[in-house]
Chain A
Amino acid sequence: MPQFRNQIWSQILQPKGLFCSIGGIEFNWKHIQEFVAWHIDGFLQQPKLRLGIVIRNDFETYAAIITCWMSGKGYVPLQPNYPNQRIIDIIESSQIKQVYDSQGVEFSKRFGLDHIPKQSTQSTLNETLVDVDPQQDAYVLFTSGTTGKPKGVPISWRNLQSFLDGFFDLGYELSHEDRFLQMFELTFDLSVMSFTVPAVLGSSFHTFNQSLIKPLALYDTLESQNITFALMVPSAVEMLAPYAEDIELPHLKVTQFCGEAFRINQFSVWKSCVPHCQIDNVYGPTEATIYCSRYIAHHPLKDKALLHQNGVVCIGQTMKTVQFLINEDKELCLGGLQTTRGYLNATPDQTSRFFEHENCWFYKSGDIGVQEGSEFYCHGRMDDQVKIQGYRIELSELEFAGSQIFENCTCKAAAIAQDNGSELHLFVLDAENTFQSNQLEHMRIELNKLLPDYMSVNAIHLKNEFPLNDNGKIDKKKLIASLS
């Protein structure tokens, strides 16, 4: 325990084939072996069990993460483009003192950290790895906290191994020949799956230059790199929708969607683009390690009806070591071996997000959950459940009604505070200018016919585009701010 380190280590000791491509430039497992030999003693010598890695979109950054793991240390990704104060908060909260940066010592000097250098000679790589305590961290990622300071989510070796056990239990036929897409920034935990699973298999992952036009770079990578397995966010597909008829990806075997609600219109677009490809919806927050449930939305050999509620695809059944529980507030609680022990330096409020139930450790996800048989559904965020004139309203329900009126366009609903209480506003993503603003009042009346009176929509806004955050999810705050 954890087995995956040994699996990656044996790939390093007997290097075969491709490790990754970055913006089309290929690196082999031999390059990893060489990097590890030049660096592992430097990592081993560090006294702390957590090390910082400055994330650059280059081979060395990935190689440093692998080396860090092989030296028995966990990593904390540091995004150099973050504001200084946020970087300082992350360094203080995770108590890191040493950092690796492929671009040299400037970053470590700026923040008073020690730089982990390349050694003067190559080390001989031993057959056996240093042991780790399964409770210690494999990585720590930071998410936005309501206190204004980023919250550190520590993921232990056991958490990550449990995720990988669950992943390999999902029944995908994978080998060292598979080629994985890695489209995520390394501060986002979906990246961990995208490079760790291929590393365990001895196969390869493929990433692109983040500064390019993202949906085009994404498609170019899927096509030119013959990707067979892709984990993506649904919004990425939506941006390609106008060009659906040009999409040809014969090598793609599996697409997983994660990170935000997977809507049935997005599913339909993607299924029409890649009918030969298995399409899965996977669900889970950082706190439960990458993702923890899976629903097979489309299997090329097994035709069955798509399960969905409020226009959002089912999140399916729990992975091998995971248990779900829905509490009296309808909140989906995620338990089992993938769930983090708790936030770093947690406030009492943050600690209260976790509890033990029948010997199982649970995290209250903040998502509204519904169970039907053995399948689960997510009805959006508890925070998206708004109360207007005493009525509890789920915005996802409003968004579904909106997409029925607006011909399957993606809709986002928001309750916006006004002097005389809250108003419900609906934002419609109309990329191709299908609708005219003078139709809106009529369509608003039609929409409200589908809804109970207390859910009446006060205003509709057509948008050519929805603002997205760095990970490609819809940025609702910016969307609301666009009104003022």
Chain B
Amino acid sequence: MDKEQIKLELKGIFEDVFSTPNIEITEELNAEKVDRWDSLTHLTMIAAVEEFYGIKFKLKELIGMKNVGDMMDLIVSKKSA
């Protein structure tokens, strides 16, 4: 899967879930950099990403996910599995 394509798709999901326009998706992006990204919206975002790509993350994968780059790697590996 093309990472640039994933970035574009995540941009739509993030802007919707975090009710924030013009979020720039980078691999380093994490909860500290978006105001409305907290415990609650994090799980909503995860559920939205899972639904969009038709995948399911493991709890351990969620715990290990430190930024958007980690999430994109997981999406790629799950989609190509």
Binding site for B on A (CB under 8 A): 213-216, 219-220, 239-240, 242-243, 246-247, 431-433, 464-465, 467-468
Q: Does B44 contact A465, Cβ atoms closer than 8 Å? A: yes
What CA separation (Å) do A467 and B58 show in the bound complex?
Answer: 24
Q: Does B60 contact A246, Cβ atoms closer than 8 Å? A: yes
Asked, given contacts A213-B31, A219-B63, A220-B63, whether A431 binds B43 with beta carbons under 8 Å apart, the answer is yes
**20 further interface pairs, Cβ-Cβ under 8 Å (given A215-B43, A464-B44):** A213-B38, A213-B42, A216-B42, A216-B62, A216-B63, A219-B63, A239-B39, A242-B43, A243-B58, A243-B59, A246-B60, A247-B59, A431-B44, A431-B47, A432-B47, A433-B47, A464-B47, A467-B40, A468-B39, A468-B40
What CA separation (Å) do A314 and B31 show in the bound complex?
Answer: 38
What CA separation (Å) do A465 and B51 show in the bound complex?
Answer: 16
Asked, given contacts A213-B31, A242-B47, A432-B47, whether A465 binds B40 with beta carbons under 8 Å apart, the answer is yes
Give, as a whole number of angstroms, the nearest-CB distance from B59 to chain A: 4
Contact partner, B39, options A215, A243, A431, A464, Cβ 8 Å = A215
Q: Which residues of B contact A215 (CB under 8 A)?
A: 39, 43
Sample (10) of A-B pairs whose CB atoms are under 8 Å apart: A213-B39, A216-B42, A216-B59, A216-B63, A239-B43, A242-B47, A243-B62, A246-B59, A431-B43, A465-B41
Interface string of B46-63 (1 = CB under 8 A from A): 010001000000111011
Q: Does A465 contact B43, Cβ atoms closer than 8 Å? A: yes
Name which of B43, B51, B58, B60 has the most chain A CB atoms within 10 A of its CB: B43
What CA separation (Å) do A242 and B59 show in the bound complex?
Answer: 9
Q: Which residues of B contact A432 (CB under 8 A)?
A: 47
Q: Which residues of A contact B51 (CB under 8 A)?
A: 433
Name which of A216, A220, A242, A467 has the most chain B CB atoms within 10 A of its CB: A216
Give, as a whole number of angstroms, the nearest-CB distance from A287 to chain B: 29
Q: Which residues of A contact B41 (CB under 8 A)?
A: 465
What CA separation (Å) do A214 and B43 show in the bound complex?
Answer: 10
Closest 4 CB pairs of A and B: A246-B59, A214-B39, A243-B59, A465-B40
Q: Which residues of A contact B62 (CB under 8 A)?
A: 216, 243
Q: Which residues of B contact A465 (CB under 8 A)?
A: 40-41, 43-44
Name which of A214, A246, A431 has the most chain B CB atoms within 10 A of its CB: A246
Of all chain B residues, the one with the shortest Cβ separation from A472 is: B39
